[in-house]
Amino acid sequence: MSVEFYRHQLGEAEAVEWRKVLEGAFLTLGPQVAAFERALGEYLVRGRESQAAPHVVGTNSCSMGLLLALRALDVGEGDEVITTPMTFASTTNAILLAGATPVLVDVEPATGLIDPARVEAAATKRTKAIMPVHLYGQLADMRALVDIARRHNLRIIEDSAHGIEIERDGVRPGELSDAAVFSFYATKNMTCGDGGAVVTKNSDVADRLRRLRNHGVSKSASDRHGGTYQHWDLIELGYKANLTDLDASLLRVQLPKAEEKRAARESIVKRYELELLRRVPALREASPQGVPGLIERRGRGSHHLFTIHAPPAKRDALLTHLGKRGIGTAVNYRAIHLLTYLQDRLHLPRGTFPIAEEIGDRTISIPMFPTLSESAQDEVIEAVAQGFTAS
């Protein structure tokens, strides 16, 4: 591959901390997990001295974090959860695994984010929660969603897999909602291979999340460590879904670098935008439905993914062209209601969510990570420009 889609930046500093964990007694649910959770909570209120840090519960993935959050908020059988078709399968999987029904609503053409007006229109007596997705690391319109949630007495669980760094209208993940869930999967801005975290301001919800991530038992092994033996009890049906100390040690080292890495990605975004709009005039035009060539930015993004929108008839040819040139790509995402399982389960034919479908038919994610060199960026820009004119 000439330009990889993503390259992690884990190095010696992370390896040193990881080795220290190996030398200690606790490999999981021990002091590293607790320290990372504290540090992430503090990061989320950085620069806001008067604000208390939220509770953070480390998990083995965002997917499991979403499921735990639904369970901890008593969302399940008979409940509807409003979410977006422009997301990864985990979002709807979590809702279905909790026993609830995902109710999809279309997205805004300019951003691909869930459209609050459509959320409002989809709320019924059975609706229990809204699960917005902060696509590509841009916060959905949380102020509008919170307003709707208050009027309809709904919970909000944010799928914030694409960023911890994000802010819009003065709102950060987990600030106005019942819970927000992050991913530390292999291609995420901060990673330990697989990992996640749930953030909540509510201490009862946090306690329940801690129990649910650990089978549903009353005490973890580290709670029971030292002193005399204490019996534990199984309080409710839970999962094995905790973060490990090995993984937390990797995340702890990366957290203080989050802002610097975001700034590096932002410079790449600016360069990509400038050069791509200059080289590919078609990207300056929006489609009849209002889907632009490059999505519009809202607030302070994490810049997790950089996507371009090609004409639907040319998208797959462009993917092939970039692949042949050795440029890594991804599709984030094809509208999820069109995927086989959800077709069988939800019966939402093509045409139901025209904007998400159009984005899904057009979108290509190109390489984006802080250490992507200018020459590699140029290679990507050149290949995209060539592909647009050739195809």
Ligand X SMILES: Cc1ncc(COP(=O)(O)O)c(C=O)c1O
Note the residues at the interface with ligand X (CB under 6 A). 61-63, 87-88, 90-91, 133, 159, 161-162, 183, 185, 196
| Count of H-run helices and E-run strands, the chain | 13, 9
Nearer to ligand X by Cβ, of 90 and 242: the residue is 90
Structure tokens of 204? 């009862």
Rounded to whole angstroms, how far apart are CA atoms 54 and 73?
Answer: 16
- DSSP character at residue 326: T
**Nearer CB in complex with ligand X: 63/363:** 63
Q: Is 128 marked active-site?
A: no
Q: What is the smallest separation between the CB atom of 168 and ligand X, expressed in angstroms?
A: 17
Please, which residues have CB within 8 angstroms of residue 241's CB and are 6 or more apart in sequence? 59, 60, 61, 64, 65, 67, 68, 212, 213
d(CA 109, CA 24): 51
What residues contact residue 101 under an 8 Å CB cut-off, 6+ apart? Answer: 79, 80, 81, 95, 126
Instruction: Give CA–CA dist 158/177, Å, rounded.
Output: 7
Residue whose structure tokens are 């993914």? 305
Q: At what angle do helices 203-212 and 62-72 cross, to 10 degrees?
A: 120
**Which pair of structure tokens corresponds to residue 148?**
């709707």
Residues with Cβ within 8 Å of 78's Cβ and at least 6 positions away in sequence, in order, are 100, 126
Beta strands in 135-289 (DSSP E): 155-159, 179-183, 196-200
CB-nearer residue toward ligand X: 69 or 383? 69
| Least distance between ligand X and beta carbon 20 (Å) | 25
Closest among 51, 52, 94 to 69, alpha carbons compared: 94
Residue whose tokens read 């889609």: 5
Q: Which of 125, 128, 188, 261 is catalytic?
A: 188
Nearer CB in complex with ligand X: 30/196: 196
Phi-psi region of 215 (alpha: psi -120 to 50; beta: other; left: phi over 0): left
37 versus 379: smaller Cβ distance to ligand X: 37
CB of 234 to ligand X, least distance (A): 25
Looking at beta carbons only, is 165 or 379 nearer to ligand X? 165
Q: How far is the CB of 165 from ligand X (least distance, A)?
A: 15
Of 277 and 330, the one with the shorter C-beta distance to ligand X is 330
**Least separation in angstroms between CB 147 and ligand X:** 23
Cα 272 to Cα 380: distance, rounded to the nearest angstrom: 9
- Catalytic positions: 188
